[in-house]
Amino acid sequence: MSYSDLGRRVEALQKKLTLAFVENAVRTLLRQGEDVGGGINAVRLVKHLLENPALRDVEAVWAYDRLKPVLRAALADPPALLFRRRLMSGGCRL
């Protein structure tokens, strides 16, 4: 995937990232199994959110760098405190 295509997909994803959307993605990934060390890592989450599990890690990290502020904002909602705490303790550092 070219970085211009990836950039367009990241922009589209940024518009639909909400707490509920991220929670649903994490729950789906947890049902598939936790990563080594527990939880879901950010690269796996980004690949899932972009619906491209074959995305190279370097591309997923590039996308994560651009999504991080939106992911943090989505998880900043006070009712999600317990979920955020569990997500963060699982290795997904947002």
List, in order, residues 6 or more apart from 48 with CB less than 8 Å away: 25, 28, 29
Percentage of the chain beyond pLDDT 90 is: 41
Instruction: Look up the pTM and report it.
Output: 0.76
In tens, the pLDDT along 69-81 reads: 888 877 765 554 4
Q: Do 65 and 14 touch, CB atoms closer than 8 A? A: no
Report the pLDDT value the prediction gives residue 73, as an integer from 0 to 100: 78
Question: What pLDDT band is residue 40 in, cutting at 50, 70 and 90?
Answer: confident
Report the pLDDT value the prediction gives residue 1, as an integer from 0 to 100: 77
CA distance 15 to 26: 18
> Hey, what amino acid is at 45?
L
| Predicted confidence (pLDDT) at residue 19 exceeds the cutoff of 60 | yes
How many Å is the Cα radius of gyration of the chain?
A: 13
Tokens read off for 92 = 């997904």
Report the pLDDT value the prediction gives residue 77, as an integer from 0 to 100: 58
